[in-house]
Amino acid sequence: MEYKKIAITIPVAGDLLEVIYRAQKILYEKYKICYQFNMQAVPHINLFSGKVRDIEVLKILVDEIILNNKYEIESNGLGIFISKSPVIYIRYKVSEIMLSIRKKMQDQIFLWKSIDESVDKSLWVPKTSIVTNDMKINQLSSVLKSISELNFNHEFKVSKINMIDYEVGRAERLLK
> Between 1 and 128, where is the model more confident?
128
Q: Which helix (H) or strand (E) holds 101?
A: helix 96-107
Look at residue 121 and tell me whether its pLDDT is greater than 90: no
Rounded average pLDDT over 105-122: 92
Domains, in order of start, for the chain: 4-174 (3.90.1140.10)
For residue 53, the tally of other CB atoms under 10 A from its CB is 14
pTM, full prediction: 0.93
**170 and 26 in contact (C-beta within 8 Å)?**
no
Q: Give residue 166's pLDDT.
A: 95
8-state DSSP, 134: S
Which position has the higher pLDDT, 45 or 120? 45
**Residues across the chain:** 176
Q: What was the pLDDT predicted at 17?
A: 98
Indicate the pLDDT class of residue 168, thresholds 50, 70 and 90. confident
pLDDT in tens, 78-90: 999 999 999 999 9
Using CA atoms, how far residue 67 sits from 18, 119, 154, 157, 159, in Å, is 23, 22, 19, 9, 7
